[in-house]
């Protein structure tokens, strides 16, 4: 009876984990989509207002920060739908066991690299916050972009873990 209860708890935890990760991935994808819209809006308004002799001050700074957030927030979704570039030709030349070993190794390396990137982003963001680093034109603080990057990279690690636990399936259908 205890083994059945343990299996049920594990299954319930994995369902909860999958729902949480999907929610985070979709939320970050939404932030990424809004970032694209915001960048387009700022650039279009800047072009129009520039023709009237009133450009948006710091438009380059704004677009640069939003662009960084847009790219990093898109990483978890791309990972969840398995949208990254892969060398399928060589992968399919391996046997079944070779594919499993290579796939597992690549995912573990990916988890290690994104964990390192998240950790270093927090360290760099904290250093930027302490130093008071800002954008050159309109003096916007920049540290928060690295915190967003760290969070997105941590979510990528969780997505890769989910993919390890559910081989052969996308977490989200594109």
According to the model, what pLDDT value does residue 37 have?
Answer: 98
Query: What pLDDT, on the 0 to 100 scale, is given for residue 1?
Result: 52
Window from 10-14, 63-67, 83-87 with minimum mean pLDDT: 83-87
The answer to whether residue 52 is domain-embedded is yes
3-state SS class at 27: helix
Positive or negative torsion for Cα 88, 93, 99, 105: negative
Residue 52, Cβ density class (10 Å: 0-12 exposed, 13-18 middle, ≥19 buried)? exposed
Q: What is the pLDDT of residues 103-144, one digit of tens each?
A: 889 899 999 999 999 999 999 999 999 999 999 999 999 999
Q: What is the pLDDT of residues 28-62, one digit of tens each?
A: 999 999 999 999 999 999 999 999 999 999 999 99
Q: Is residue 43 part of a domain?
A: yes
Is residue 171 in some structural domain? no
Q: Which two tokens stand for residue 15?
A: 């369902």
In a domain, residue 172? The reply is: no
| Number of domains within the chain | 1
Structural domain boundaries enclosing 11: 2-165
Is residue 83 included in any domain, yes or no? yes
């Amino acid at each position: 009876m205890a083994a059945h209860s343990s299996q049920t708890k594990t299954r319930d935890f994995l369902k909860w984990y999958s729902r949480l990760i999907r929610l985070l991935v979709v939320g970050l994808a939404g932030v990424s989509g809004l970032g694209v819209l915001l960048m387009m809006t700022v650039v279009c308004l800047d072009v129009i207002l520039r023709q009237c002799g009133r450009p948006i001050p710091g438009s380059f700074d704004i677009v640069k920060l939003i662009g960084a957030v847009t790219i990093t927030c898109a990483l978890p979704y791309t990972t969840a739908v398995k949208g990254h570039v892969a060398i399928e030709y060589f992968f399919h030349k391996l046997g079944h066991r070779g594919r499993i070993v290579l796939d597992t190794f690549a995912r573990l390396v990916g988890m290690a690299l994104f964990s390192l990137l998240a950790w270093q982003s927090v360290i760099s963001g904290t250093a930027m916050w302490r130093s008071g680093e800002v954008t050159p034109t309109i003096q916007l603080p920049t540290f928060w972009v690295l915190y967003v990057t760290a969070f997105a990279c941590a979510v990528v690690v969780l997505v890769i873990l989910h993919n390890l636990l559910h081989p052969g399936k996308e977490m989200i259908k594109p």
